[in-house]
Structures are given as C-alpha cells and as structure tokens.
C-alpha cells in the first residue's frame, strides 16, 4: 500500500537514502522548505491515531520535529548568537557620539545606505585620497571606494563615498552634482540599493535643528553657539569629537528653541566664510537625541601618546564672553551687509559694560624659533596667509627681548613677534580664529588682538615692514 511521508530539510539538503520504489519531489517554492516523498511500504495506513493521523504519518511528524529541534540547537543557535553579539556591539556607541540616528537606535545598515553617494565622471588622474579631500567639506567621510579595472589597475571613472551621517551625503549631493573637478563634471546620485521607503521608519528630524559642517578647528562649541545666537535662542550646540586628537571633527548640530530661527540660520549661514572655511548648513534629515559633543572628552582617558606631545590636544578653549560677543556681532554685520537686512540683531552683552570694538591689530607669536630663522620673505608670506581673512595695511616683523615678549603675551622662548595690521577690525577677529592654535612648520602659533596705540609705540623703531602694493 502506498502512503505519503515528508521531512523538513534545511537549505534543501537531503540525507536520507531512498529505496528502489521511492520517488521524491522538491517543491522548492518561495514559501516552503519541505520535500515530499512517496514511499512504498507494507505499513497498514488504516490505523488512525486519536489525533487523526495514521501511525506512519505520526512517525513522519516526529522525525520532522526532531530534525527541527536539532537545527535549532546547532545551526540556528550559532546564527542567532552571532546576530545578538553584533547587535550588542552596535549598541555600544562611544560616549562622544553625536549621530542622532545611531543614538535613536536606527539600524546602522539603513543609516549607511542613507549616508552613501554614487560619484560618476571622475577624472582618471584623481585618486581616492583626492575624492575624500574634496568631499570632506560636507562632513566626515568614513570610506571611499572606486571600481578598479583589473587589466589596467586604474579606476573606472566612478565610485562611492560614504559619510558618518545622512545630512552630509544630502549636502554633498546638492552642492557637488554637476561640479567641475579635474576638468570633468561630476555626476552625483544615490546608489542602486537606496530605497526611500527605508526612511519611513526613521525618527522625524526636529524643525528646530540644523546640521553644520566645515567648521574651522579653531571654532569651539561655545563660539559657534554665540555666532548663531543672533538668529534666536540656541538650546544646544554639539560638535563631533575626535577621541584621538581631542579636537572636533568639523561638523555637528545646532538646535534652536523655535523652528523659524533654524530656517533663517540655515539659509543665511550656508556658504558663509568663517575662519577661512566655507560653512555648510542645512536642515536635518534624521531625528533622534543629541550626544554630549566635546563635553564627553572630559570623561574619556587621554591617548597613550598624549603625555609626550600636545599636538593632538584641544588648545582653543572658550573665549572670554566679550570677545565671543564681538565675534557674533561681526558675523551678523557681514550677513546684514550681504543680504541688505537689518532684522537680525546681535546678542546684548550680559552686563552693563559697553562693548569694546576689537583692535585691528593681530600679533602672531612662535611663528619662528628666533632671529636666525627670519628671512626677507617672512613678512610677505604672512601677509599672504593673513589676507585670507581680509585686507591688510601693514605687516611688521618685530624683534624683542625675552622679557618684552613674556610681558606682552606670556609666551616664553620667542624673540620674534609678527604684527598684522588689518584695515577692518572684523578681519582681525577672523585672523585670530584662523591662526590661534594652528601649526606652521612644526610650531604652534599663538594669535591675539593687540592694542592699537601700544602697537604704534612698540613698532615705531622696527625696520622690517611690509606694505602690500594694493594698500592705501
């Protein structure tokens, strides 16, 4: 008599041997992993058990259940354990994380798809390092991959750029699509695996929050907060921290108390030059909580090499309150002049003290080690660097004693000070932001404002003076 038996199989594997009178058929459909067999047997199939199955059918069910339990304890157990460990690792985010999507628990793979761009029409002379340098203006680039021709070893003219956050990818696509780089017009788009439906499960971004990128390393969170304060009350300002260098990574988030100031700030400050870098600002793409930002570094240990050198330490702390207000006021003035609008007002001083206009004189110290390192081109070179912040009227290379330098700024071991006389005080503010704490030829420069009358007295006898040809 003929009866029907079935076995549950994993990945279509068949381990049972069949007799001559057995025939098997693998259903192999999308909803089943079952294999049906018609087996010739002399077992009496008329015997029906209380559950409605024949003895032969019950035996088949028992074998299938035993096989399923075995898989659950072996193959599937390992798979589930690996998945659990991977999920635990993904949830262990560094203390300085400011990625709202990750902090909200969004799947890292979905965020990765949102943060990835296709880049086509790349000049064949450009390398992955060139592409990373170009696209890092919009945020931290986590990876650059370019398809290579195995025959020539050269890339095929296209590749992929992945950022840490989706906002950076969106900014880069808006700005770089159609941009001429290396003589070719880039084509920027989303990769094939991008699916807008994935974003439906993402937390909605707050209307009060904006993304800011390409922030000069000399601009601290406090300074950035004050710069954006003229638009409205700033509830939070966090920049992504680099644990190794103890500096911010040039991007972060600003959250206002209301949505209107956020919209105005994103529109007005996108493309604004701050500290010799062009700010990139836009509304957020993914919501979620904000991290601690740079404040998280205080709870983290210093890198092992930090005791030997301070190259990686954050040297630019918060400015004095009045100087912060001056920075915000000068930025606001530039915005008003560019837009013709007088609706944005700088924040009022927190005390009754009258605001003091910053000096147009900037003194640079520790640019060179001593008199022997000064050459005839030094003043012209510093004018070239300083002119990025505004028009310069005069550059003076001043030689002084150790006592004089120490009394002026507290910096020991320098015999040479360089004075930059700007035509406008706002340019001097930008120069301090640009130079202070920066490294030139292996030396860390200290930059600060210098009183105008004192500058005239100190440099009255100096002979190494450079006046740009375009200066009045």
Check pLDDT > 90 for residue 163: yes
Closest CA relative to residue 438, chosen from 371, 390, 387, 366? 366
Q: How far apart are CA 299 and CA 224, in angstroms?
A: 22
Got the DSSP string for 238-296?
Answer: EEEEETTTTEEEEEEEEEESSHHHHHHHHHHHTT-EETTEE-EEEE-SS------GGGG
Residues in the chain: 472
Query: What three-state secondary structure class fits 7?
Result: strand
How many CA atoms lie less than 13 Å away from 180 in the CB half-sphere? 1
Dihedral sign (CA 119, 253, 387, 328): positive
Query: What three-state secondary structure class fits 62?
Result: helix
Quick one: pLDDT at residue 367? Answer: 86
If you average pLDDT over residues 433-448, what whole number do you get?
A: 80
Pairwise pLDDT comparison (289 vs 355), residue with the higher score? 289
Could you please state the CATH topology (level 3) that the domain comprising 361-466 is classified under.
Answer: Alpha-Beta Plaits (3.30.70)
Asked if residues 362 and 432 have their Cβ atoms less than 8 Å apart, the reply is yes
Number of CB atoms found within 10 A of residue 83's CB: 10
Name 435's bridge partners.
Answer: none
Asked if residues 230 and 336 have their Cβ atoms less than 8 Å apart, the reply is no
Pairwise pLDDT comparison (469 vs 448), residue with the higher score? 448
What the block records as the tokens of 284 is 């957020």
Q: Structurally, what CATH architecture does the domain formed by 100-201 represent?
A: 2-Layer Sandwich (3.30)
Asked if residues 467 and 400 have their Cβ atoms less than 8 Å apart, the reply is no
Window from 184-188, 325-329, 342-346 with minimum mean pLDDT: 342-346
Going by DSSP bridges, is the β-strand pair 361-365/392-399 parallel, antiparallel, or unpaired? unpaired
Query: What three-state secondary structure class fits 120?
Result: strand
Quick one: pLDDT at residue 162? Answer: 93
Average pLDDT along the chain? 75
Which residue in this structure is represented by tokens 């020539």?
152
Window from 176-180, 215-219, 289-293, 408-412 with minimum mean pLDDT: 408-412
Window from 34-38, 343-347, 419-423 with minimum mean pLDDT: 343-347
Q: By percentage, how much of the chain surpasses pLDDT 70? A: 68
Q: By percentage, how much of the chain surpasses pLDDT 90? A: 25
Quick one: pLDDT at residue 369? Answer: 76
Residue 341 — very low, low, confident or very high, per pLDDT cuts 50/70/90?
very low
Element (DSSP H or E) covering residue 130: helix 128-135
Quick one: pLDDT at residue 89? Answer: 56
Check pLDDT > 80 for residue 327: no
Asked if residues 422 and 394 have their Cβ atoms less than 8 Å apart, the reply is no
Residue 353 — very low, low, confident or very high, per pLDDT cuts 50/70/90?
very low
Sequence spans of domains, the chain? 2-75, 100-201, 209-321, 361-466
Could you please state the CATH topology (level 3) that the domain comprising 209-321 is classified under.
Answer: Alpha-Beta Plaits (3.30.70)
Check pLDDT > 90 for residue 358: no
- 75-104 pLDDT, tens per residue? 676 777 776 666 555 556 666 677 887 787
Quick one: pLDDT at residue 404? Answer: 65
Check pLDDT > 70 for residue 15: no
Quick one: pLDDT at residue 269? Answer: 92
Window from 85-94, 211-220, 443-452 with minimum mean pLDDT: 85-94
Quick one: pLDDT at residue 414? Answer: 62
Query: What three-state secondary structure class fits 347?
Result: coil
Quick one: pLDDT at residue 301? Answer: 65
Quick one: pLDDT at residue 317? Answer: 38
Residue 444 — very low, low, confident or very high, per pLDDT cuts 50/70/90?
confident
Window from 197-201, 264-268, 275-279 with minimum mean pLDDT: 197-201
Quick one: pLDDT at residue 191? Answer: 84
Closest CA relative to residue 280, chosen from 102, 111, 128, 135? 135
Check pLDDT > 60 for residue 35: no
Q: How far apart are CA 210 and CA 230, in angstroms?
A: 15
End-to-end CA distance of the chain: 113
Closest CA relative to residue 173, chosen from 128, 250, 115? 115
Closest CA relative to residue 167, chosen from 101, 263, 234? 101
Max intra-chain CA distance, the chain: 120
Torsions phi, psi of 247, nearest 5?
Answer: -120, 165
Residue 45 — very low, low, confident or very high, per pLDDT cuts 50/70/90?
low
Closest CA relative to residue 408, chosen from 459, 360, 442? 459
CA 336 to chain centre: 29
If you average pLDDT over residues 294-299, what whole number do you get?
A: 80
Dihedral sign (CA 87, 88, 93, 98): positive
Quick one: pLDDT at residue 305? Answer: 45
Check pLDDT > 80 for residue 136: yes
- 386-419 pLDDT, tens per residue? 888 999 999 999 887 656 655 554 444 467 889 9
Going by DSSP bridges, is the β-strand pair 247-256/273-274 parallel, antiparallel, or unpaired? unpaired
Element (DSSP H or E) covering residue 34: strand 34-40
Quick one: pLDDT at residue 32? Answer: 43
């Amino acid at each position: 008599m003929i009866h029907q038996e079935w076995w549950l199989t994993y990945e279509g594997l068949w381990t049972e041997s069949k007799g001559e009178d057995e025939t098997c058929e693998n259903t192999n459909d999308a909803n089943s992993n079952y294999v049906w067999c018609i087996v010739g047997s002399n077992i009496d199939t008329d015997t029906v058990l209380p559950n409605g199955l024949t003895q032969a059918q019950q035996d088949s069910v028992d074998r299938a259940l035993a096989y399923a339990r075995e898989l659950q304890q072996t193959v599937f157990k390992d798979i589930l354990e690996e998945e659990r460990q991977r999920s635990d690792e993904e949830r262990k985010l560094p203390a300085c994380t400011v990625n709202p999507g990750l902090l909200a628990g969004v799947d890292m793979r979905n965020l990765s798809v949102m943060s990835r761009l296709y880049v086509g029409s790349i000049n064949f002379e450009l390398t992955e390092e060139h592409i990373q340098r170009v696209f890092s203006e919009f945020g931290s680039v986590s990876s650059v991959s370019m398809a290579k021709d195995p025959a020539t070893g050269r890339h095929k003219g296209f590749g992929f750029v992945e950022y840490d956050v989706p906002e950076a990818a969106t900014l880069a696509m808006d700005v770089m699509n159609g941009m001429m780089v290396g003589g070719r017009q880039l084509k920027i788009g989303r990769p094939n695996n991008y699916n807008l439906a994935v974003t439906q499960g993402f937390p909605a971004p707050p209307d009060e929050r904006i993304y800011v990128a390409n922030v000069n390393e000399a601009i601290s969170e406090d300074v950035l907060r004050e710069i954006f304060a003229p638009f409205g009350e700033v509830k939070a300002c966090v920049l992504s921290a680099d644990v190794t260098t103890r500096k911010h990574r040039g991007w972060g988030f600003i959250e206002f108390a209301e949505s209107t100031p956020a919209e105005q700030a994103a529109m007005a400050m996108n493309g604004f030059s701050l500290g010799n870098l062009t700010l990139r600002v836009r509304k957020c793409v993914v919501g979620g909580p904000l991290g601690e930002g740079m404040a998280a570094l205080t709870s983290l240990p210093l890198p092992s090499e930090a005791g030997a050198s301070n190259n990686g330490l954050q040297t630019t702390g918060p400015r004095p309150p009045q100087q912060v207000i001056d920075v915000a006021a000068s930025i606001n003035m530039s915005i008003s002049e560019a837009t013709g609008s007088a609706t944005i007002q700088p924040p009022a001083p927190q005390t009754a003290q009258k605001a003091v206009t910053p000096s147009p004189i900037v003194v640079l110290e520790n640019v060179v080690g001593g008199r022997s390192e000064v050459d005839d081109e030094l003043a012209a070179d510093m004018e070239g660097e300083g002119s990025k912040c505004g028009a310069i009227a005069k550059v003076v290379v001043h030689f002084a004693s150790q006592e004089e330098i120490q009394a002026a700024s507290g910096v020991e071991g320098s015999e040479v000070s360089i004075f930059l006389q700007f035509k406008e005080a706002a340019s001097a503010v930008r120069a301090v932001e640009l130079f202070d704490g920066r490294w030139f030829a292996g030396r860390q420069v200290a930059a600060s404002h210098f009183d105008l009358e004192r500058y005239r007295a100190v440099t009255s006898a100096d002979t190494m003076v450079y006046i740009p040809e375009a200066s009045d």
